Structure 1
Amino acid sequence: MSLKNQFLTLLLGVSLGAFSLPSHSQNTVLHAQVSGQGQPVVLIPGLMSDERVWQQTEAPLAQHYEVHTLAFAGFGTHPSNPQLREAFTENAGTALERYLQENTAGDAVVIGHSLGAFLGYQLASQQPQALECLIAVDGVPFFSALVSGNSALTAQAVKPQAQQMLTVYQQLTPEQMAMQVQMGASRQTSSEENQARVVAMAKTSDPATVGRAMYELMTTDLRAEVADLNVPTLQMAATGGFSTVEQKQTALNAYQQQIAGDNAINLLEFAESRHFIMWDQPEAFLLAVNHFIEERCHD
C-alpha cells in the first residue's frame, strides 16, 4: 500500500473522535460532563465516537484539573440534530465557543482529537481569547492536504471528491457505515478491544451528520489562519501506522507542513501510536499533556 493510500485509510477511513452524554433535549448540539477541580481542561472528540474516546484520559486529568468532556449530536449514542446535518463546523464551533464563554474564564486547555483538533484550531484562530492553549491530537488545519501528501492542494480542488463522499454517506445506514469503519479499524488503534469500540461507536452514529462533518473537514483550509496563531499549541502526530522509517519521516514532514511558519505550535511525534494516540500510548500521552500544560498553559 502506498504512503498516500495508507494515510487515507488511516485518517479518512475512520476519522474519529467524538463523544456523548445524557441529552437534555433532542435539539441539543453540544453535551458536557464535568469532573475534578482546577484549571479547566476541555476534551473535544471528533467523528463517530462517544465518551469512550477519553476513557483513559478523563479520570487521571481530573485529579489535577476541572475536566469538561464534550460531545456533539449525531456521534456515538447521541441523537442527531438538524443543525449539524446542515452546517456542522459553523454550528459546532458556535456551540463550543458559547460553552467556553459560559463555563470557563478564558483559561481553558482545549484538547481535541481528529475532527475535535480541527475545531480547536478553528476556535484558536478565530476566538483566541476563549482559551489558554490547544493540544491537537492527530488532527490538523487542512485534512485533505495531509492525507493527499500534497501541500499545494486547495479546498476548491477537493470539493468534487468531497461532494461525492457526502452523497454516499447520506445514503448509508448506520450498519453500512460501521462495516466501512471495520475495514480500516486496525489502522486506527492497535488494540482489538479498542478496534471493536471504534466500530461500535460508528454503528450508533448518524451517517448524515458524519457525512456533513467530513465534507466540511475536507473542504476547509485553516492553514493561513493558523500561520498567525498566537495561542500556544501542541500538535501531536501519530506515525505508528507506517511501517518504515522513511514512511514515518514522510508522514511527519506532512504534519510539519500543516503548521509551518508558526512558532507558537510545537510538533510531537508518537511513533508507536495509530490515530487514537490516547489509547495506544496512554502513559506517554498523559505525560505530554501534563508537561505541556505546566510549561505553556499558564499566564
Structure 2
Amino acid sequence: MFSSLLPRAAVALTLLLAGPTVQPAAAQATTTQTAHPAFTVQVVGKGRPVILIPGLTCPGAVWADAVARYQKQYQCHVVSLAGFGGVAAQQPVSAHLLQDVRDQLLAYIKAQKLTKPTVVGHSLGGFLALWMASTDPAALGPLEIVDSLPFMSAIQMPTATVESARPMAEQLRKQVARGHLTLAAERQMVTPLVTDSARITQVARWGLASDPSTVAQAMYDMYTTDLRTDISRIKQPVLVLSSWAGYKAYGATKASTLAIYTQQYAQLPQARIEMSEAGRHFLMYDDPQWFFTQTDAFLQQPATAKR
C-alpha cells in the first residue's frame, strides 16, 4: 500500500503521528496542562479518561475536533510529543526516543491514577499505543489505532526483520536529520495523506516547526521496532481504522491494503479492522463523519475484551 511512497514520502508517512496544544474555547475552565521530559499533556473535560496521542511532527492540536466533541463526556488527556509541531525538543535527543515516550506515558497513567484509560493514537501515536499495551496490558483500556501498523518496515518489505531494516532506517535518519525543507516540499509530502488544501498546509507547517533530529530518531525507532508478535499480549478491545484511497495512484487497492493490515495484526485476533472508503491517512480530517461514528461506538466499549 505505502511502498511506492517510500522513500520519497517517508517523512510524511511517519506523520503517523499528529498536534501546538488543544484549546477548545468552551473548555478553558476545565483545562490543565502538565509537562514531562518527552511530552506535555493537556487535560480537558470530565468523565472516563481518554488519552489522545498524535502522529509524527504533529502536536496534540490534531485532535482539536475530537476534543470539542468528547470533552463533555470524557476526560481528554491530549498528548504533544517534545520536538513535534513547535513543542520544544529534548536536548540531546535520546537514542531510545520512542521507548522513553512509551515508558513515560505508562508512568503518567500510574501517577495520575487513571483506571484503564482508552487510548486513541494516530499513526505514530497508534504505534505507541500498541507498544504501551504490549508492555503493560493491565494499564490500558480499549485501543483505537488510527491508520498505523505494528511494523512499518514490513509495508515496503513484507519479509523484513529489524536487522534487515536497519540500513534503510539509518539512511532515512541521516537524511531527515539534515532538515532544510521548504513549505512547498512539506506540502508535497503531505498531499497524499490529506485531502483538504487548508489541512495540508496546516500539517506541513507543523512539520516545518518540528525538530529534525527528533523526527529522524522517532522514524528510526519506529522502522526498527517490530511489534507483530508482542501485540499478542494485548487482551483489551482494539479497533483499527485504516485508509487506502490516498494510495490508489501508487497501486494500492482496498483488498491489498486490507491484506497488509490483516497480516500485521494476525497475533491480535480481537482486533476489528475497519476501512474508510474515502479518507486518506488523516482520517479524522478526511472522513470525519465515518471516523466519529466509529469512535462514538468504540468509546462505549468495556475496558476488557471477551475472550
TM-score by length of 1: 0.90
Q: Is the alpha carbon distance of 1:297 and 1:98 closer, same or farther for their aligned partners in structure 2, counting shifts above 3 Å?
A: same
Q: What residue is the counterpart of 1:159 in the other structure?
A: 166
Q: Is the alpha carbon distance of 1:39 and 1:255 closer, same or farther for their aligned partners in structure 2, counting shifts above 3 Å?
A: same
Which letter does structure 2 place at the counterpart of 1:240?
Answer: A
* Residue-by-residue CA offset, 1:185-215 (whole Å, 9 max, x unaligned): 2111100010000111011100000000000
Query: Which of 169, 176, 182 is the aligned partner of 1:169?
Result: 176
Which letter does structure 2 place at the counterpart of 1:264?
Answer: Q
Q: What residue is the counterpart of 1:271 in the other structure?
A: 277
Which letter does structure 1 place at the counterpart of 2:229?
Answer: A
Which letter does structure 2 place at the counterpart of 1:282?
Answer: P
Confirm or deny: 8 A CA contact 2:192 2:247 kept in the other structure.
Answer: no
Q: What residue is the counterpart of 1:13 in the other structure?
A: 12
Q: What is the CA–CA distance in structure 2 between the aligned matches of 1:236 and 1:83, rounded to whole Å?
A: 35
Q: What residue is the counterpart of 1:260 in the other structure?
A: 266
Q: What residue is the counterpart of 2:29 in the other structure?
A: none
Q: What is the CA–CA distance in structure 1 between the aligned matches of 2:171 and 2:96, rounded to whole Å?
A: 17
Quote how far apart the aligned CAs of 1:130 are: 1.3
1:287 equivalenced with 2:264 (yes/no): no
Q: Is the alpha carbon distance of 1:294 and 1:9 closer, same or farther for their aligned partners in structure 2, counting shifts above 3 Å?
A: farther
List runs of 5+ in structure 1 lacking aligned partners: none
Confirm or deny: 8 A CA contact 2:59 2:79 kept in the other structure.
Answer: no
Q: What residue is the counterpart of 1:251 in the other structure?
A: 257
Q: What is the CA–CA distance in structure 2 between the aligned matches of 1:40 and 1:287, rounded to whole Å?
A: 19
Query: Which of 122, 136, 141 is the aligned partner of 1:113?
Result: 122
Tell me the matched-pair count: 293
Q: Is the alpha carbon distance of 1:268 and 1:296 closer, same or farther for their aligned partners in structure 2, counting shifts above 3 Å?
A: farther
1:95 match: secondary structure: helix
For residues 91-240 of structure 1, the aligned pairs below 5 Å read 91-146=100-155, 148=156, 150-173=157-180, 176=181, 178-240=183-245
1:56 equivalenced with 2:65 (yes/no): yes
Quote how far apart the aligned CAs of 1:4 are: 2.7
Confirm or deny: 8 A CA contact 2:98 2:128 kept in the other structure.
Answer: yes
List runs of 5+ in structure 2 lacking aligned partners: 23-32
Confirm or deny: 8 A CA contact 1:177 1:207 kept in the other structure.
Answer: no
Report which stretch shifted further, 78-87 or 6-15.
6-15
TM-score by length of 2: 0.88
Q: What is the CA–CA distance in structure 2 between the aligned matches of 1:237 and 1:11, rounded to whole Å?
A: 18
Q: Is the alpha carbon distance of 1:241 and 1:144 closer, same or farther for their aligned partners in structure 2, counting shifts above 3 Å?
A: same
Quote how far apart the aligned CAs of 1:12 are: 4.6
Which letter does structure 2 place at the counterpart of 1:163?
Answer: E
Q: What is the CA–CA distance in structure 1 between the aligned matches of 2:188 and 2:138, rounded to whole Å?
A: 41
C-alpha RMSD of the superposition: 2.4
Confirm or deny: 8 A CA contact 1:33 1:68 kept in the other structure.
Answer: yes
Show structure 1 runs of 4+ deviating over 6 A: 22-25
* Residue-by-residue CA offset, 1:58-78 (whole Å, 9 max, x unaligned): 110112111111111100011
Report which stretch shifted further, 73-82 or 181-190.
181-190
Q: What is the CA–CA distance in structure 1 between the aligned matches of 2:48 and 2:280, rounded to whole Å?
A: 29
For residues 19-38 of structure 1, the aligned pairs below 5 Å read 19-21=19-21, 28-38=37-47
Q: Is the alpha carbon distance of 1:57 and 1:95 closer, same or farther for their aligned partners in structure 2, counting shifts above 3 Å?
A: same
